[in-house]
Amino acid sequence: MLKLVAVVLILFLFSGREPQRLTETPVESSAIDLCEVGNSVFQDGETITYKLYYNWNFIWLAAGEVEFKVKTYPDFIKVSARGKTYPSYEWFFKVDDYFEAHLDKETLLPTLSIRDVHEGSYTRYDKVILDQKNHQATYYWGPDKSNTQSAQKVVSGCMHDILSVIYTLRNVNVGSWQVNQQLPVSIFLDKEAWNVGVTLVDKYEEKRIKGQGKAQTHHLEPQLISGNVFKEGDQMQIWVSADANHIPLMIESPVSVGSVKAVIKSWSRLKYPFELDNP
pLDDT, tens digit (0-9, with 9 covering 90-100), for 118-146? 988 989 999 999 999 999 999 999 999 99
pLDDT exceeds cutoff 70 at 24 = no
pLDDT of 234 reads 53
Helix ranges, the chain (H)? 4-9, 162-169
Domain ranges (residues) in the chain: 4-14+28-267
pLDDT of 279 reads 61
* Cβ-Cβ contacts under 8 Å for 40 (sequence gap 6 or more): 171
Dist CA 152 CA 137 (whole Å): 6
| Segment 185-242, tens digit of pLDDT | 888 888 888 877 888 899 999 999 988 999 999 999 887 554 444 445 557 789 999 9
pLDDT of 218 reads 93
Taking residue 272's Cβ as centre, other Cβ atoms within 10 Å add up to 14
| Segment 253-279, tens digit of pLDDT | 776 666 788 999 999 999 999 988 766
